[in-house]
Amino acid sequence: MEMSDKPRENCGLVGVFSFHKDAVSHVLYGLVNLQHRGQEGAGVVVSDGKRLTAKKGMGLITSIFTKEIVEELREGYIAIAHTRYSTSGRLSAVQPFVEDGVGLAHNGNITNISTLSTIIGINEQDIMSDTWLTLKFILSQKVESTTEKIRRSLPKLAGAYSFLAITPDALYVMRDPWGFRPLVLGRLPSEGWIVASETCAFTANEATFEREILPGEAIRIDKNGVETIYFDNRGPLSRCIFEYIYIARPDSRIFGSEVHVVRRRCGQILAREAPVEADVVVSIPHSGDSACHGFSEASRIPMVEGVFANRYIGRAFIEPLHRRKQTTKVKYGVIRSDIEGKRVCAVDDSLIRGDASRSFVGLLRDHDAKEVHLRIAAPPLRFPCFYGVDFATPQELIARREKDLEGIRLATGADSLHYLSYEGLLKAVTNVDFNLKIPPEELFSANGFCGACFTGQYPVATSGVAHKEDMKDIYESTDYRYRQVNVTAS
Ligand code: SF4
C-alpha cells in the first residue's frame, strides 16, 4: 500500500529584501510555513551586499538550518529560499542554484527546455534540471546588466514558473504569463519586502499582504524600492486549480481567495451533488478537513473526529513501511465510539491512485463501521501534470485504470463513491454558477484556471518536457492536447 494517495508536492519559495540585515531569519520563518510544499530538501542564498553565500541540505528545514548556520548568514540583507520535493533525492539537485553572482530558485516546470538548450548549445544529456538550464540561459545573454539579461530571457521561456533570483544588490521576482503558480508580495513591518509562494509565509514575519505578482510580470527589488521591469501578456491565464484542491495551505490566500473557503465550498457543493444517507461525516486527515466541514454543513450530517493522524511520525519513518499492510494503522488513530455501528461518510480532497483510500475504508470497517461511503471533493483525476506537480503515472491513476465509477468504487471497497463535478469545482473556485456549454474535456481554460489533470487539455505545449528523463515515459503514454505557444527561437 502506498503511504499517501497525494501528489508529491511541488516547491515553496520565499525571498526577502530587508533594510536591517538578518534577511535569513525572515526567509526561514517563511519557508517553515511552506514546508507542506516539499519536504525532501531546502536551500538558502544570502547577499551581504558584496557576495552571495549558499547553504543547502536534505530533509526538513528545521533540521538543515541549525543555529550555527543561521548565525553565519545573519549579515545578509537579501535572501532567497527554496523547499522542494526532490525527484532525484540528490543534494546537487537542491535549489537555489548559484553561478556568476546570480542565484536562482524555481517553482514550476519549464516545458520548452529542448528549445532553450539548442539556443545556448547545451546537450540534452548534460541538462541537470530546468532551473539549472534557465540560469545558464539567463547568464548566456550577451548584455551586461542582470536586469537586461532577465528581460531578454523571459520571452523565450514557456511553461510554469515562479522564479526568485538574487544578485549582490537586488532581488528579482518573475511569474509566468499563464500564472500557473501563485506568487505574492508583502511588506515587512521593519522596512523591507517579502515575496512567497503563499501568504501563509507572511504570518510568522508579521508581514502584510501587498499584492499578487501579476502573471507575466517581473519585478526588481533593491534599496530604491519595487520596480516592474518586464511584462508579458502571452496568456491565456491558467492558474493551477489543484493549488486550491490540495497543494496550498488552508489559511493562505491565493489567486484572490482564501484556500479554506474554496475547499469548504467544494464540500458544500459535493453534498448537494451527491447526497448520502449517513450518521456521521469524517475527514480523511487532514487534507480533507475543509471540504468535510462544508459537506457536513450542507448535508446537516454531524462531522466527528473519527480518525486522526499521528502528528509525530514523519515521512522518513513511514516510507520504508510503505509496502506493508500496517502503514495506515501506524499513521492513523481511530476513535471507535465515533465509528462503530455507524454509517460513515468519509470526505477526501482528491483521489489519485486509490490504494490509500482502500486502506482507509478497510480501517473504518475494522472498527465496525456499518457502511462506508466515499465523497471526493474534486473531479476524477485522469491526466498527469506537466507544470510542476508530481502525480502518479497515468497508468497508476485510479480514474484512468478503472473503466467507470463502479470500477473505482469496487477498487476502493466503499459502499458508494462520488466525485465533485468539474462544473461544481469551478463554481466553488469562482463562487458563481457555472453552466458549461461544452464538456469539460474540451475546455483549455475556464475562468482563467488550468484543470488539465482533470480535462486532458493542456494550456501550454508540453513537448519540451519529453527530454526530461523522469517525464519521458509519462509524456509518451498520454493522449494529451495542447495549445501552441509562440516562443521566439533566437
Ligand atoms: Fe495544476 Fe492540474 Fe494544471 Fe498541473 S495539470 S497545473 S496540477 S491544474
> How confident is the model at residue 234, as a pLDDT?
87
Q: What are the phi and psi torsion angles at 81 (to 5°)?
A: -140, 155
Residue nearest to atom 2 of ligand 1 (CA): 453
Residue nearest to atom 6 of ligand 1 (CA): 240
Alpha helix (H) residue ranges in 355-442: 355-366, 398-401, 405-412, 422-430
The residue from 11, 200, 450, 453 that is catalytic is: 11
Percent of the chain, pLDDT > 90? Answer: 70
Beta pairing class for 416-419 and 371-376 = parallel
**In testing the pocket of ligand 1, which one of 175, 262, 450, 455 has its CB within 8 Å of the most ligand atoms?**
450
Span 128-139, average pLDDT: 94
> Residue 400 carries which side chain, given as an amino acid letter?
R
As for ligand 1, residues whose beta carbon falls within 6 Å of it are: 180, 240-242, 385, 387, 389, 450-453
**In testing the pocket of ligand 1, which one of 389, 390, 443, 449 has its CB within 8 Å of the most ligand atoms?**
389
For the segment 180-225, what is each residue's pLDDT rounded down to a tens digit?
A: 999 999 999 989 999 999 999 999 999 999 999 999 999 999 999 9
73 exposure class (CB count in 10 Å sphere: 0-12, 13-18, 19+): buried
Percent of the chain, pLDDT > 70? Answer: 86
Atom of ligand 1 nearest to the CA of 459: 3
Is 11 a catalytic site residue?
Answer: yes
Span 461-465, average pLDDT: 66
> How confident is the model at residue 393, as a pLDDT?
79
For the segment 61-84, what is each residue's pLDDT rounded down to a tens digit?
A: 999 999 999 999 999 999 999 998
Q: What whole-number distance in Å separates Cα of residue 422 and Cα of residue 438?
A: 12
For the segment 88-113, what is each residue's pLDDT rounded down to a tens digit?
A: 456 777 899 999 999 999 999 998 88
Residue nearest to atom 4 of ligand 1 (CA): 385
Q: What whole-number distance in Å separates Cα of residue 35 and Cα of residue 31?
A: 6
Atom of ligand 1 nearest to the CA of 451: 8
> How confident is the model at residue 484, as a pLDDT?
47
> How confident is the model at residue 487, as a pLDDT?
46
For the segment 419-459, what is each residue's pLDDT rounded down to a tens digit?
A: 999 999 999 998 887 676 777 666 666 678 999 999 888 88
- Look at residue 483 and tell me whether its pLDDT is greater than 60: no
Cell digits of residue 279? 450518521
**In testing the pocket of ligand 1, which one of 107, 110, 242, 246 has its CB within 8 Å of the most ligand atoms?**
242
Atom of ligand 1 nearest to the CA of 383: 5
Confidence class for position 310, pLDDT limits 50, 70, 90: confident
- Look at residue 317 and tell me whether its pLDDT is greater than 80: no
The mean pLDDT value of the chain amounts to 89
> How confident is the model at residue 85, as a pLDDT?
73
Atom of ligand 1 nearest to the CA of 7: 7
> How confident is the model at residue 490, as a pLDDT?
40
| CA–centroid distance, residue 383 to ligand 1 (Å) | 9
Of residues 80 and 389, more confidence is placed in 80
For the segment 344-370, what is each residue's pLDDT rounded down to a tens digit?
A: 999 999 999 998 899 999 999 999 999
| CA–centroid distance, residue 387 to ligand 1 (Å) | 6
Three-state SS for 199-254 is CHHHHCCCCEEEEECCCCEEEEEECCEEEEEEECCCCCCCEEHHHHHHHCCCCCEE
Confidence class for position 308, pLDDT limits 50, 70, 90: very high
| CA–centroid distance, residue 369 to ligand 1 (Å) | 35
Find the range with the poorest average confidence among 150-159, 189-198, 466-475: 466-475
> How confident is the model at residue 467, as a pLDDT?
46
| Residue pair 351/419 in contact by the 8 Å Cβ criterion | yes
- Look at residue 149 and tell me whether its pLDDT is greater than 70: yes
Instruction: Please give the DSSP secondary-structure letter assigned to residue 86.
Output: -
Span 279-290, average pLDDT: 94
Q: What whole-number distance in Å separates Cα of residue 142 and Cα of residue 439?
A: 47
> How confident is the model at residue 470, as a pLDDT?
55
- Look at residue 474 and tell me whether its pLDDT is greater than 70: no
| CA–centroid distance, residue 52 to ligand 1 (Å) | 34
Which residues, in sequence order, are CB contacts of 407 under 8 Å at separation 6+? none
